[in-house]
Amino acid sequence: MHKYGSAIVEWLQEYEKQVLYLIGLITIAIGSFVFGAMHGNTFAQEPIVVYRPENEPVVIVQEVAVDDVKSDLKTKDCKYVGSTKGKKYYPPSCSYAKKITKENLRCFTSDEDAINKGYERSTSCK
């Protein structure tokens, strides 16, 4: 026998259990991979497709300066103001009134006018 052959045989005899465990582990790993690859296609789901509209809506944000709102209030002669998106009304000098955008601004000539239109006076500004 060749001198390297006897050394390999001796090494295999010494580490026989560890070599067999390693071969078994590699065999199980390869078998699991093949089994998963073969059956992976049966569990595949249809991809989720998100369609975007051809013409996306354009949103234009317009900032309104407080001075613009004040000048509108003077021209409209509003005693109270409210927002079309809310149910409270305020005096034009109130900080909450100044935050109402020009597009949502609603003018009231009196308390009765605002109340008749379904609004309630804010207690935060007198």
pLDDT in tens, 100-111: 998 999 999 888
**Nearest 5°: phi and psi at 88?**
-110, 150
Task: Provide the β-strand partners of residue 82.
Answer: 89, 106
Is the pLDDT at 93 greater than 90? The verdict is: no
Asked whether 108 and 79 are in contact (CB, 8 A), the reply is yes
Domains of the chain: which residue ranges?
3-43, 66-121
Give the global pTM. 0.40
For the chain, the average pLDDT equals 80
Tokens of 123: 């207690």
Rounded percentage of the chain residues whose pLDDT exceeds 90? 32
What span, in angstroms and rounded, lies between the C-alpha atoms of 70 and 72? 5
- In the prediction, which pLDDT does 17 show? 92
User: Cα dist. 35→9, 42, 45 in Å?
Assistant: 34, 12, 19
